Amino acid sequence: MRAAVLREHASSPSPAEHPDPLPEDGQVLVTVTAAPIVPLDLLCASGTSYFGAPALPYVPGVQGVGRVAGQRVWFPTSAGMRPGDGSMAELALASAEDVVELPDGVPDTLAAVLGTSAIAAWMALTWRGRLREGEQVLVLGAGGVVGQVAVQVARHLGARRVVGAARSAGAQERARACGADAVVPLSDDDEPTSLAARLEEACDGPVEVVVDPLCGIPSTAAATLLGRRGRLVNFGSAAGEVASYSSAHLRSRTAAILGYTNNDITTDQRRDALQAVLRLAVEEGLTVAHEVLPLAEVASAWDRQASGTAGRRLVLAVS
Ligand SMILES: NC(=O)c1ccc[n+]([C@@H]2O[C@H](COP(=O)([O-])OP(=O)(O)OC[C@H]3O[C@@H](n4cnc5c(N)ncnc54)[C@H](OP(=O)(O)O)[C@@H]3O)[C@@H](O)[C@H]2O)c1
């Protein structure tokens, strides 16, 4: 089969012939149609992730979309985290219980782009953030894929105001296009007090839910806006590994700082979360900015993702 094959850690995969995978008990063979390039793919391929350096050569791709017995499905893989190949190939293996059926009306490429980012956004707002109608939401990193989904899901769930915060001009524009009521620019030079003041100006009083894929200074600043019983849900650290929170602020408002990872939810939760977002894609036009490229262009696409110049999610059209 044709596949994107990684031969050296921290390099780019190249298109090549690769042996067809053989399903074992409990696995299904997926004819892949679309595979996104996500930050986790690059982290695993770097050989420096906490999963350890993957054996080489291997096919990256922690998720994808394809067909199993004629049925369109989304599937996760553990490529780069455990031995075995991933989704960036004409054929891939998935655990039978992990595949999620796709509704009609959502293109394979969009479903592939939504995948784990949509699951994180949905679960952060609902399961961890317990967002209720009429509450105010602040989405950090609102121009990323998780952020774009979070803005649209918050709107759908009846948030009274959704404020985004994003770094690059492109990310700010994407957040606006998703329906954010206001977008606060972030800068690598931000300092917590002045950023908190800018966020407060964009918000309408205290914030009930903060969606936080950034940590660092944006998270420190956002936490100061949490109102009574406010919840900040962190699931990433793009802006720093550490943030600081005031005990007096948190305890006086019974506010909560919560962690979230897609790795600690059940198969049912993952399926229900993804299907909920896919339904919004079909029924309400939920979407995120993305660019479709052929598998043959995997090396340059990977390099764009690695250098931070992709601007939007890149997804490989496989077959
Ligand atoms: N815990 C989980 O289960 C889970 C699941 C999914 C995602 N995540 C994490 O959530 C994060 C977002 O994922 P994604 O899929 O949305 O990724 P993405 O589409 O690549 O978006 C990342 C966003 O983060 C912004 N960003 C990066 N560094 C920043 C910094 N120093 N300051 C401010 N903004 C910064 C980027 O802004 P610019 O466009 O301006 O560069 C970009 O818009 C990632 O860190 C990912 O690992 C975690």
Say which CATH number the domain at 182 has. Answer: 3.40.50.720
At 129-152, the pLDDT tens digits run 999 999 999 999 999 999 999 999
Does the beta carbon of 262 lie inside 6 Å of ligand 1?
yes
Phi (first) and psi of residue 69, to 5 degrees: 50, 45
- Nearest CA to 99 out of 131, 125, 75, 134 is that of 75
- Assigned domain for 7 exists: yes
CA nearest ligand 1 atom 19, residue: 144
Query: What atom of ligand 1 comes closest to residue 263's alpha carbon?
Result: 3
Nearest residue (by CA) to ligand 1, atom 8, is 236
pLDDT band at 187 (very low <50, low <70, confident <90, very high): very high
Ligand 1 pocket mutation, candidates 44, 49, 117, 215, criterion most atoms within 8 A of CB:
117
Quick one: 88 and 165 in the same domain?
Answer: no
Nearest CA to ligand 1 atom 1: 261
pLDDT in tens, 291-301: 999 999 999 99
Domain membership flag for residue 83: yes
Domain membership flag for residue 110: no
pLDDT at 311 over 90: no
Decide if 281 is inside a domain: no
Cα distances from 179 to residues 151, 220, 233, 272, in angstroms, run 7, 25, 21, 24
Quick count: other Cβ atoms within 10 Å of Cβ 70? 6
Q: Report which residue type is found at 77.
A: T
The reply to whether 280 falls in a domain is no
The mean pLDDT of the chain is 97
Inter-residue contact 262 to 123 (CB < 8 Å): yes
Calculate mean pLDDT across residues 223-229.
98
Q: Does the Cβ of 168 fall within 6 Å of ligand 1? A: yes
Does 239 sit in the ligand 1 pocket, CB within 6 Å? yes
- pLDDT, average across residues 205-230: 98
DSSP H or E run through 249: helix 247-253
Range of the domain at 64: 2-101+289-317
What is the mean predicted confidence (pLDDT) over 1-22?
97
Residue 269 inside a domain? The answer is: no
Check residue 285 and give left, alpha or beta (phi > 0: left; psi -120 to 50: alpha): left
In this predicted structure, the answer to whether residue 123 has a pLDDT above a threshold of 90 is: yes
The pTM score is 0.97
Establish whether residue 39 lines the binding site of ligand 1, counting it when its CB lies within 6 angstroms of any ligand atom.
Answer: yes
Q: Is the CB of 230 under 6 A from ligand 1?
A: no
pLDDT confidence tier of residue 99, bands split at 50, 70 and 90:
very high
Under the banding of pLDDT at 50, 70 and 90, the label for residue 50 is confident
**Claim to verify: residue 17 and residue 155 sit in the same structural domain:** no
The whole-number average pLDDT for the span 191-210 is 98
Residues of the chain above pLDDT 70, percent: 100
Average pLDDT over residues 174-185: 98
Asked if residue 107 is part of any domain, the answer here is no
Q: What is the rounded average pLDDT of the residues 260-266? A: 96
Pairing of strands 290-294, 313-317: parallel
Q: Which long-range contacts (CB under 8 A, 24 or more apart) does 187-194 make?
A: 190/217, 190/218, 190/221, 191/217, 192/217, 192/220, 192/221, 192/224, 192/244, 193/221
User: Does residue 120 share a domain with residue 96?
Assistant: no
Atom of ligand 1 nearest to the CA of 311: 39
| Reported confidence tier of residue 167, pLDDT bands at 50, 70, 90 | very high
Structural domain count, the chain: 2
Q: Tell me: do 95 and 126 sit in the same domain.
A: no
Q: Is the pLDDT of residue 319 over 90?
A: no
